[in-house]
Structure formats: C-alpha cells, structure tokens
C-alpha cells in the first residue's frame, strides 16, 4: 500500500477516534511482542499473577494478536478518560473513580464498534475485533508500542497531560 494512502487512513482513524471521545489513538503493526515474551513468562513463573489463573492461559495469544484475529495487520490502541467531572458526595461509601457511572466495558466497546463501522464505511471491508479487558491482549504493551503512553513506576500507562486516569482499549 502506498505510504500516503496508509498515512491518510491512519489520520482518518485517529480523527474519528477523537470525534468518538477517545483521548488518544495510536496504531502499530500487529505481530509477536518479542520483548514482552520473556517478561510475561517470568512473571507467570514467579506466580506474580496471584489467583488470576486466567493469566496462565492463552500465552501465545497474549503475545501475538494475529492469533486472536487471523490476518490482522494493525493494532489500534486507544485511551478513554475516566476522571469524573464531579467529586463523590460526603458520607457515602467511597468507590474508585473508574467505577462512577455506567460500566466502562459497555461504554468503550460501543465506541470501538462505532469506530470499526466508520473505518469500514471509509475504507471498505475490514475485518476486526474490539477489545476492552475482554481477551488475552497485553493492553499496556500495545499502548506503549503505539506511542499513546509509557509505563510508570506504578505499572500503569501514563500520558502527558492526562496522568493515568484512562482505560485502554484495542481494535485489532
């Protein structure tokens, strides 16, 4: 594909993502996460995943999105702000900021589907799947690879001007 066509498509995707309320959008080539493989293997070997036994499953799929979505060419990484505009009321049980309001899985996934449909309308037939904590995808690795953030000391992805108050999602 010509470089300018690829750039135009990337720009379209990023602009559409912004229209849909995503904070940032980065695109990287789908493929095996070679640098992550030994770290993930060691992390599991040391039982750092605690009782989250699902982390032991689908090792290969965690490292290679083309096994999740055969024929995948790109991983579109997105961030979605969850910092609430209002503070919690005094005297009520405190809950995490990300848990205010509607379940983020539905909110973000609906927008991902809208983005995928917009891509199809603009580019043509494009296969893809949307992910928000719903599959063995290494969100943080893809976020860093796409340039939407970096790993902080607290092991969360940070973004300049936004901190870490955002969800990560992927369109593969």
Question: What confidence tens digit (pLDDT) does each residue in 83-109 have?
Answer: 767 777 888 888 776 777 777 888 999
What distance in Å separates the CA atoms of residue 11 and residue 161, rounded to the nearest whole number?
A: 22
Would 147 be classed as within a structural domain?
yes
Would 106 be classed as within a structural domain?
yes
Catalytic site residue from 60, 127, 133, 139:
133
CA 163 to chain centre: 16
Would 51 be classed as within a structural domain?
no
Range of the domain at 80: 3-31+65-85+95-171
Q: Rounded to whole angstroms, what are the CA distances from 164 to 98, 115, 168?
A: 11, 23, 10
CA 13 to chain centre: 15
pTM reported for the whole predicted model: 0.90
* Predicted local distance difference test score (pLDDT) of residue 77: 98
What distance in Å separates the CA atoms of residue 87 and residue 169, rounded to the nearest whole number?
A: 25
Q: Count of alpha carbons within 13 Å of 85, Cβ hemisphere only?
A: 1
Would 76 be classed as within a structural domain?
yes
Burial (CB count within 10 angstroms: exposed 0-12, middle 13-18, buried 19+), residue 34: exposed
Does 41 score more than 90 pLDDT? Answer: yes
Would 60 be classed as within a structural domain?
no
Report how many domains make up the chain.
1
Would 59 be classed as within a structural domain?
no
Question: Which residues, 6 or more positions from 114, have their beta carbon under 8 angstroms from its beta carbon?
Answer: 20
Which of 2-11, 83-92, 122-131 holds the top average pLDDT? 122-131
| Active-site residue flag, 139 | no
Element (H, E) at 5: helix 3-19
Would 21 be classed as within a structural domain?
yes
Would 38 be classed as within a structural domain?
no
């Amino acid at each position: 594909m010509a470089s300018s066509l690829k750039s135009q498509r990337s720009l379209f995707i990023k602009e559409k993502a912004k229209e849909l309320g995503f904070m940032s959008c980065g695109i990287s080539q789908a493929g095996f996460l070679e640098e992550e493989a030994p770290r993930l293997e060691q992390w599991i070997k040391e039982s750092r995943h605690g009782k989250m036994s699902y982390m032991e499953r689908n090792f290969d799929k965690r490292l290679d999105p083309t096994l999740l979505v055969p024929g995948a060419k790109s991983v579109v990484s997105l961030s979605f702000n969850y910092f609430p505009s209002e503070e919690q009321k005094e005297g009520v049980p405190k809950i995490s900021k990300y848990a205010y309001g509607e379940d983020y899985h539905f909110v973000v996934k609906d927008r991902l589907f809208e983005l995928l449909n917009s891509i199809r309308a603009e580019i043509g037939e494009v296969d893809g799947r949307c992910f928000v904590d719903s599959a063995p995808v290494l969100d943080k690795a893809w976020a860093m690879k796409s340039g939407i953030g970096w790993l902080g000391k607290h092991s969360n992805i940070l973004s300049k001007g936004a901190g870490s108050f955002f969800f990560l999602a992927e369109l593969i």
